[in-house]
Structure 1
Amino acid sequence: MSNSSLKTAAIALSEPTLFFPFEICKGKAGKKVLISELAQTVLCSSYNQFVINFCMEWQSNKNGFVVHTSGSTGIPKPIRLTREQMKNSVEATAEALNLTQNERFLICLNAEYIAGKMMLVRGMELGAEMIIIPPKRNPLEDFDKKMWFDFAAFVPMQLQTILDETPEKIVILSQMKAIIIGGAPVSYSLLKKIRSTKALNRVAIYSTYGMSETVTHIALKRLNGKDVEESADTYRTLPNVKIKTDERGCLVITAPHTLGKEIVTNDLVSIKNEKEFEWLGRADFVINTGGVKVFPEKIEVFIEKYFYELDIQKRFFISSLADEILGEQVILIIEGLPFSKKFENDFLQHLKKNLPSYHAPKQFFYLSEFLLTKTDKIDRKKSSDLILK
């Protein structure tokens, strides 16, 4: 699908609409708004009015939009995206996921950030009926199970909550054409739940790779389906995205939605071919211990599986401390009450036995509660600093 075909197809589009199903205004619940009527629309909630205002800006053919990075790996910073970049991103996603005109989208990501904004832009460009739900843990909890959508985007916590707390709403998920999950890694427990829920077998569910600078995702990883291997950890790029690595082994991206500009990331990857790569971890998280480079994220996946098997529901992450002999030593920081000494010893022996040399944590530390970013990701640096003080 080219830019020109999108413009030609726009003649046949139904007018995009926004629907606020649980908005109560002037004593009436539910308010449907034609895009052409946005200027005359006044809603009660400030969030829904924010959505209206952004859509008005887009429909006015505004050429540039300022978004902020998430702050998960540093201080949030503003970046400017052009209308052309955002439309190119829509085109690539529509082609990759076979999104067509006049479908129904569930918009439940925070529209103050790029992922939520781009769901709105996709809806407007494809003439969708957009059902707006202010961001919440379970965006389906208030819907009747007869409700249906063609496409939705969730953060992992939202999909996990739907599957765990409202299994009767899985029928809504099962009717979707595609679901994308982003904003945080998909946990092992969520992955197992997705793959073991038979009703989801017909839905294409993907984990996304991207960032604000690339106008959300530039690659997708299929999480379910009969052809997906249990250990598959490979992302496939969207159409017309080019990838390579720099001298550090970090991913470099060029795409229509970067306007041909190279975006140099801090993500260490293993490139399989011109379209596929495996994500290894963040370059700024790598721990050098005893001359060995350790990727914290790989250890975390192993620990996550171990905790899942023991039904331990604790958040954690791998970090490091300075070490006079090793340079750095690997440590494990866990949220909540400490484990017993016996469990710690057994756990440590299990890690030493099953992980490569120098990968097992030397020490365990505990925090009553992790510090989070504005987008509810664990702030590793600030949480680690609490330990080091």
Structure 2
Amino acid sequence: MQPNWIKQRAYLTPNRIGLRFGGESWTFQQLHEEALYKARQLAKFVGRGERVAIFAPSTPELIKVIYGCMHLQLEMVLLNGRLSTEELAYQIEDAQVAMVLAAASDVHKLPQNIEVMTFEQLIETEAIEINIATEWQDNQTISIMYTSGTTGFPKGVRQTVQNHSMSAISSALNLGITEQDVWLCTVPIFHISGFSILMRSLLYGATVCLYEKFDEQACVQEIVAGRVTTISLVSVMLERVLSEMERLQVQAHPNFKTVLAGGGSIPVDYLQRAAKVQLPVVQTYGMTETSSQTATLASIDALRKIGSAGKPLFFNEVRIQGTDEPFVEGEICIRGPHVTPGYIGRFAERASTENGWLLTGDIGYLDDEGYLYVVDRRADLIISGGENVYPAEIENALLAHPSVLEAGVCGLMDDKWGQVPIAFVVLKQAVTEAELQAFCHQRLARYKLPKQFYFVDSLPRNGANKLLRRKLIELL
């Protein structure tokens, strides 16, 4: 059993700021009271423990609705705002939700013939008297998020009270926490990276500085002014923050502690640039099935172990399938209290683990000190002439070129080699294919060199800004 986090946080630190947005702020006591009122309004339509879907941008109203649902112990299916109507229809139907709660501005994206309650309608709803639970069961499902669906149909992943709390505690033991912590949240709340910031806020008593969308200029202003201590970013967002800091010729304020960088490997060039502007970057590795972080590189090791995702956090274990030897690549397997107990809908009967271990589908290795290195997604692996070619390695080489803003690599069928790598590049400034080929030739084995370069305006990404390599081929 665990205490109701919202009620407990308001009891412990009622006057501490829990949320900032624009020029407004809310204490944890105010958030608790507003969430309780939301729960009383929601109770007119849904019963305790039922399942609802939520579809809205990252605003204070969304936070209040989420906390209201938590008071009612509702299972929340967080819908990705970038999905198509067909993709949303699949998830809503698969989850069998009692209703969809949505911002009025986003209702037009939803499929027709479903029951929708807008946030605006909810505000006008009369509240009823209810009793909220003061304790939650460890196995109670808080959130459900659908995987990216790299193969087949997306799976609805359950994330429980224990999953979220153990993830947050493990992170705190690694990064440390203080009463002055302010987490800048510009990643979407519907993704685990954003939602986990809310959970950490309640458990730590940290302020969430919320932005509806990622804005590198606003992020840099917050970081340079010392108004925030931590930010979660993926690689493409980090590069934009770095470019803005370099343009302004500024450095991070001494108050700023950490960029938590996830969503794939971070190019060495980015880490070196970050060091020059006093921006501490720690790489982390996690996934929807692990309620955020599994392994994180301590800041003290950032330059000594460049490219590593670090060691497993305190309660977590990582092994490489089929080997106990260092530096041998294989599928990354994870065990710990942060691992999902299972799925919902069409995958409800599928076990999430084998003998207690989650098989991630990611390829990596452990070095001789036990540090994890994530090489690539198994599904994205290119096998060319019998050699394994990892797209991330080629992308990182390309991203080191000063003219390259973004890079994506995938495999193309080839009669001679089976597959060959091809690259899609978004440029900062003009560069020729021959120049890029020569640049890569200095850094990569011949069989890893892209056979073709395609210059594009943008790369396909999901709601968390992760590159969707499986969709690159569609750009042709």
Name the structure 2 match of 1:221: 297
Deviates most, 249-258 or 312-321: 312-321
Name the structure 1 match of 2:142: 65
Name the structure 1 match of 2:272: 192
Name the structure 1 match of 2:68: 56
Answer yes or no: is the 8 Å Cα contact 1:337–1:366 preserved in 2.
Answer: no
Query: How far 1:17 moved relative to its partner?
Result: 4.0
Query: How far 1:243 moved relative to its partner?
Result: 1.3
The answer to whether residue 394 in structure 2 is matched with residue 303 in structure 1 is no
Letter in 2 for 1:98: G
Answer yes or no: is the 8 Å Cα contact 2:423–2:452 preserved in 1.
Answer: yes
The answer to whether residue 406 in structure 2 is matched with residue 315 in structure 1 is yes
- In structure 2, list runs of 5 or more residues that go unmatched: 39-56, 75-139, 323-328, 342-352
Name the structure 1 match of 2:454: 365
Query: How far 1:232 moved relative to its partner?
Result: 4.7
Change (3 A) 1:108 1:296: closer
Name the structure 2 match of 1:249: 330
Change (3 A) 1:192 1:73: farther
Change (3 A) 1:110 1:314: closer
Answer yes or no: is the 8 Å Cα contact 2:403–2:430 preserved in 1.
Answer: no
1:47-79, Cα deviation, whole Å (9 max, x unpaired): 221111112333555531333245273554421
Answer yes or no: is the 8 Å Cα contact 2:58–2:189 preserved in 1.
Answer: no
SS of the residue aligned with 1:315?
strand
Letter in 2 for 1:244: R
Name the structure 1 match of 2:12: 13
Letter in 2 for 1:280: V
- In structure 1, list runs of 5 or more residues that go unmatched: 23-28
Answer yes or no: is the 8 Å Cα contact 1:141–1:169 preserved in 2.
Answer: no
Question: In 2, distance between residues paired with 1:364 and 1:327?
Answer: 19
Q: TM-score, normalised by structure 2?
A: 0.66
Answer yes or no: is the 8 Å Cα contact 1:337–1:368 preserved in 2.
Answer: no
Answer yes or no: is the 8 Å Cα contact 2:408–2:472 preserved in 1.
Answer: no
Change (3 A) 1:36 1:385: closer
Question: In 2, distance between residues paired with 1:46 and 1:302?
Answer: 34
Answer yes or no: is the 8 Å Cα contact 2:59–2:211 preserved in 1.
Answer: no
Name the structure 1 match of 2:100: none
1:100-152, Cα deviation, whole Å (9 max, x unpaired): 45743333322122111111111111222333332322343665965533433
SS of the residue aligned with 1:256?
coil
Question: In 1, distance between residues paired with 2:69 and 2:207?
Answer: 18
SS of the residue aligned with 1:334?
strand
Question: In 1, distance between residues paired with 2:205 and 2:443?
Answer: 52
Deviates most, 273-282 or 249-258: 273-282
The answer to whether residue 374 in structure 2 is matched with residue 294 in structure 1 is no
Query: How far 1:39 moved relative to its partner?
Result: 3.6
Letter in 2 for 1:214: T
- Aligned-pair identity (%): 18
Change (3 A) 1:40 1:346: closer
Question: In 2, distance between residues paired with 1:227 and 1:367?
Answer: 32
SS of the residue aligned with 1:135?
coil
The answer to whether residue 230 in structure 2 is matched with residue 151 in structure 1 is yes
Query: How far 1:170 moved relative to its partner?
Result: 5.8
Name the structure 2 match of 1:80: 158
Name the structure 2 match of 1:25: none
Question: In 2, distance between residues paired with 1:32 and 1:235?
Answer: 35
Question: In 1, distance between residues paired with 2:435 and 2:160?
Answer: 54
Change (3 A) 1:105 1:368: closer
Name the structure 2 match of 1:130: 208
Question: In 2, distance between residues paired with 1:193 and 1:338?
Answer: 19
Answer yes or no: is the 8 Å Cα contact 1:336–1:369 preserved in 2.
Answer: no
Letter in 2 for 1:36: H
Q: TM-score, normalised by structure 1?
A: 0.79
Change (3 A) 1:359 1:145: closer
The answer to whether residue 427 in structure 2 is matched with residue 351 in structure 1 is no
* RMSD across aligned positions (CA): 3.6
Name the structure 2 match of 1:233: 308
Name the structure 1 match of 2:170: 92
SS of the residue aligned with 2:297?
strand
1:329-385, Cα deviation, whole Å (9 max, x unpaired): 222223469977xx4335434534542241222223344443332333332222213
1:231-258, Cα deviation, whole Å (9 max, x unpaired): 4535211002111122481000001111
